[in-house]
Amino acid sequence: MNIYSQTVTMLEDYFKSSDENTAKARIVFKELYKGKIHSFYDIKMLSESIKQKLSNDFTFETIELLTTSESADTCKFLFRLHDGHTVETVLMKHDYGNGVCVSTQVGCNMDCVFCESGKLKKIRNLETFEMVGQVLYLIDELGIQISHVVLMGIGEPFDNYDNVISFTDIITEQLGLAIAARHVTISTSGIADKIIEYSNRSSFNSLAISLHAPNNDLRSKLMPINKAYPIEKLIAAADIYAKRSNKKVTFAYIMIKNVNDSDECAMELAELLGDINCYVNLIPYNKTRSTSYEPSSKERIARFFDILKKNNINVTVRREFGNDVSAACGQLSADYRNV
Residues 88, 116, 127, 130: which is the catalytic one?
Answer: 88
Residue ranges in 100-119 that form contacts with ligand SAH under rule CB under 6 A: 110, 112, 114-115
Q: Is 48 a catalytic residue?
A: no
Going by C-alpha positions, the residue among 37, 71, 39, 43 that lies closest to residue 140 is: 37
CA–CA separation, 6 and 10 (whole Å):
6
Q: Considering only residues 210, 245, 250, 260, which one is a binding residue for ligand SAH as defined by CB under 6 A?
A: 210
Q: How many CB atoms lie within 10 A of CB 311?
A: 15
Convert 148-158 to b/e letters by CB count within 10 Å (16 or more is b).
bbbbbbbbbbb
Q: Is 320 a catalytic residue?
A: no
Residue ranges in 253-272 that form contacts with ligand SAH under rule CB under 6 A: 254
> Could you tell me which stretch among 30-38, 165-173, 187-195, 305-313 binds ligand SAH (CB under 6 A)?
187-195
Amino acid letter at 226? N
Q: Considering only residues 161, 330, 333, 334, which one is a binding residue for ligand SAH as defined by CB under 6 A?
A: 330
Q: Considering only residues 152, 170, 192, 270, which one is a binding residue for ligand SAH as defined by CB under 6 A?
A: 152
Terminal alpha carbon distance of the chain: 32
Going by C-alpha positions, the residue among 170, 154, 175, 160 that lies closest to residue 205 is: 170
Going by C-alpha positions, the residue among 64, 79, 53 that lies closest to residue 1 is: 53
For residue 88, state whether it binds ligand SAH (rule: CB under 6 A).
Answer: no
Q: Considering only residues 58, 129, 241, 285, which one is a binding residue for ligand SAH as defined by CB under 6 A?
A: 285
For residue 329, state whether it binds ligand SAH (rule: CB under 6 A).
Answer: yes
Q: Considering only residues 260, 286, 296, 333, which one is a binding residue for ligand SAH as defined by CB under 6 A?
A: 286
Residue 40 carries which DSSP code?
A: G
For residue 199, state whether it binds ligand SAH (rule: CB under 6 A).
Answer: no
Burial of 119 (0-12, 13-18, 19+ CB in 10 A): middle
SS3 20: coil
Closer of 8 and 171 to ligand SAH (Cβ): 171
Total chain residues near ligand SAH (CB under 6 A): 18
Residue nearest to ligand SAH (CB): 330
> Under a CB-based contact definition with an 8 Å cutoff, are residues 218 and 225 in contact?
no
> Under a CB-based contact definition with an 8 Å cutoff, are residues 315 and 307 in contact?
no
Catalytic residue IDs:
88, 329
Binding site for ligand SAH (CB under 6 A): 110, 112, 114-115, 152, 156, 187-189, 210, 252, 254, 283, 285-286, 288, 329-330
